[in-house]
Structure 1
């Protein structure tokens, strides 16, 4: 199965109304910096938390795109409308896209 993928240049800025973001990174990565409004479900928790994934179009992100590609393939198999961000949060940050943090520090990707 081909994983639906988009590069950072293919993601509108700002994100359009109705497009959801799912971040599948680990807690420490999430706390350091993430996209405002994203849903955080670490990859290993995804099967038991599937009901928390929006049914509408969802952009799936991780650090560089590997974990999110796995999540995107699995979610697509579950019938979800998902696309993987190729280059992940590293490309998001490099493009100067806005992020927030949960640790009181300047947002960044770890």
Structure 2
């Protein structure tokens, strides 16, 4: 079973895994987040380090909950970020977007 944390509980410098689709990710994401869309996670799980604590984020928390559950069931350490990227933006946490655009959440 995975644990759900708030955006304020994500430690500074944490490994953030964004499981949204490509178009969502390019518009705005937590600064430094790694991107593996949820649908690709089963095929790309080996790209992740099982000894790292991953804070999994999506738009609102649904996809990240599924991803965290999938990861934990396979021996990885994953936390679901409640409220997702929307909550991250509202909390004024560091964000970035492709091309230097103003980050936004779709």
Normalised to the residue count of structure 2, the TM-score between the two structures is 0.92
Q: Deviations over 1:28-54 (max 9, x none)?
A: 000001122211000000000001223
Q: From 87, 97, 100, give the equivalent of 2:96.
A: 100
Residue 35 of structure 2: aligned partner: 40
1:98 to partner: Cα distance: 1.0
- Aligned with 1:96: secondary structure? coil
Matched, 1:20 2:15: yes
- Aligned with 1:82: secondary structure? strand
Residue 9 of structure 1: aligned partner: 8
Higher strand share goes to which structure?
2
In 2, are the aligned partners of 1:22 and 1:53 still within 8 Å (CA)? no
In 1, are the aligned partners of 2:6 and 2:83 still within 8 Å (CA)? yes
Equivalents in 2 of 1:94, 1:24: separation in Å? Answer: 19
Q: From 71, 83, 86, give the equivalent of 2:79.
A: 83
Q: From 45, 64, 69, give the equivalent of 1:50.
A: 45
Q: What stretches of structure 1 move > 3 A for 4+ residues in a row?
A: none
